[in-house]
Amino acid sequence: MYFIFFVIIILLKVFKADFLIFLEAGGIKGLPHDDTLLYVQELKAYYKTPNGLVKAVDNVSFTVRRNEIFGIAGESGCGKSTLAMAILRLLKPPGFINGGKVLFKGKNLLKLSPKELREIRWKSLSYIPQSSMNALNPVLRIKDQFIDMFKEHGIKKEEKEYEEMIKELLINVGLAPEVMNMYPHELSGGMRQRTIIAMAIALRPELIIADEPTTALDVVIQRGIIQLLSEIRRKYNIAIILITHDMAVHAELADRIGIMYAGKIVEIGSTYEIFKKPLHPYTDALINSIPILGVKKTLKGIKGLPPDLKNPPPGCRFHPRCPMAMEICKLQEPPLISINNRKVACFLYR
C-alpha cells in the first residue's frame, strides 16, 4: 500500500508539468498530445472600440509540440498578431483577453504574476515581433541591448565574458562579431532581423513566437532568414510558432499549420496533408492563390473580402465567400472537429 503511494508521488514529481496540463485540460477529454509544450484553449482576445467589440481572436484552441514549427496562416487582419500578443500577455488596451487558457508546460500564462511572466519571457518563451525592425532600441549599441537582457535575467558576468557570449550568438546567426559595437541604424534590414533572432535564442528558450519574420525583407534575405530559423530549431531543439500570411514560407518551414479565418482556427493539420489535400474551402483557396515550386497550376485569388470583425457574418464566417456554402452554413457555426490527425471546422465534414 505504502509502496503504491510512494510510486504515485514519484510519478507526479517526474511528470508534474504533463499532469498539470492533463488537469487543466479537463481530464481525459481534450488531453493534448504527450509532448505538448503549449496548449491554447478557447482563447478570446478582443479590442474595445467606439463602434463595438472587434473579436480578433474568438475561441481559438491549438497545441504546439516540443521542437516543432507550428505555422499560423491566414490573410492580413484575421487575428494572427493579436493571437501572438494574447499568448504572451503583451496585448495593450483597447485589447483585452476575454477568456480561455494558455498553458505553457502546464502553467496558465494568463494567471501568472508580472514577476513570474518576466522570468518566463526570453528564458523559456521569446518573441520576434511583427515590427521587429523597430524592436531594437535605436540609441543603444547592440552589445548593450544584449547585456541589459542578460542582467534582467540575473546573468552577471564580467564585460569580457558578456562579449564572448554575444560574439558566439552573433556568429550563430550568421553575423560578424563586430555587429555588437554597432547601433541598429547602421545595420541592414536582414542584419537587424538576425540580431533579433540572436536575442530571441540567447537564453535558450523552449518556444519562440515569430510574427511575420520574413515579411518586409527582399527575396534573397528572406531565404537566409528561412534557413536560419530552420537551423536554430534543429540546433537548439526550439519549438517555433511561425506566424505569416505567406503560405510559401509555411510550405518550407512548418511541420503543422493552423489556418485562421476571421478570428477563428478553421483547420489544423500537418503541412504535407494541408498542401496535399486541404479540407476547408478557405485553406484550398489560400493554397490556390500562391505559386508552389514545381507545381503547374492556374493561380486563383480568393473572391470577396475578409469580414469586419466587429460584425462578422452569422454561421460560418467564410460563407459569403465560400463556393461550397450550404443553407446550414448561414445559420450555424461549424465546430472544429477531429478527422484522423487533423481538425477542421466545416459542415462538409459532418
Ligand X SMILES: Nc1ncnc2c1ncn2[C@@H]1O[C@H](COP(=O)(O)OP(=O)(O)O)[C@@H](O)[C@H]1O
Query: Applying CB under 6 A, which residues contact ligand X?
Result: 47, 49, 54, 56, 74, 76-82, 94-95, 309
List the grid coordinates of 339: 478527422
Give the shortest CB-317-to-ligand SF4 separation in angstroms: 8
Residues paired with 72 in a beta bridge:
243, 258
Q: Which stretch binds ligand SF4 (CB under 6 A): 1-9, 111-119, 124-132, 342-350?
A: 342-350
Q: How far apart are alpha carbons 72 and 186 in whole angstroms? A: 32
Query: Burial code of 21-40, b = ≥16 C-beta within 10 A, e = fewer?
Result: bbebbeeeeeebeeebbbbb
Comparison of 122 and 318: residue with beta carbon closer to ligand SF4: 318
Which of 189, 199, 262 has the alpha carbon at shortest distance from 225? Answer: 189
Integer-rounded Cα Rg, in Å, for the chain is: 21
Comparison of 143 and 264: residue with beta carbon closer to ligand SF4: 264
* Chain CA centroid to CA 97, Å: 17
Q: Compose the 289-318 pattern: x for residues touching ligand SF4 by CB under 6 A, - for all others.
A: ---------------------------x-x
CA–CA–CA angle 93, 98, 101 (5° rounding):
115
Give the shortest CB-335-to-ligand SF4 separation in angstroms: 10
Pick the binder of ligand SF4 from 69, 322, 342, 343 (CB under 6 A): 322
Give the shortest CB-93-to-ligand X separation in angstroms: 8
Q: Which stretch binds ligand SF4 (CB under 6 A): 82-90, 137-145, 303-311, 326-334?
A: 326-334
- Which of ligand X, ligand SF4, Mg ion, none does residue 318 bind (CB under 5 to 8 Å by kind)? ligand SF4
Pick the binder of Mg ion from 41, 81, 145, 193 (CB under 5 A): 81
* Chain CA centroid to CA 319, Å: 26
Comparison of 73 and 329: residue with beta carbon closer to Mg ion: 73
Query: Does residue 305 sit in helix, strand or coil?
Result: coil
- Which of Mg ion, ligand X, ligand SF4, none does residue 334 bind (CB under 5 to 8 Å by kind)? ligand SF4
Grid cell 509540440 is found at: 65
Give the shortest CB-3-to-ligand X separation in angstroms: 53
- Which of ligand X, ligand SF4, Mg ion, none does residue 190 bind (CB under 5 to 8 Å by kind)? none
Q: Assess contact for 254 and 298: CB atoms under 8 A.
A: no
Question: Mind giving me the DSSP string for 54-91?
Answer: EEEEEEEEEEEETT-EEEEE--TTSSHHHHHHHHTT--
- 269's enclosing H/E stretch is strand 264-270
Comparison of 79 and 100: residue with beta carbon closer to ligand X: 79
The pairing of strands 95-104 and 69-73 is unpaired
Q: Which residues are at the interface with ligand SF4 (CB under 6 A)?
A: 280-281, 316, 318-319, 322, 324-326, 329, 334, 346-348
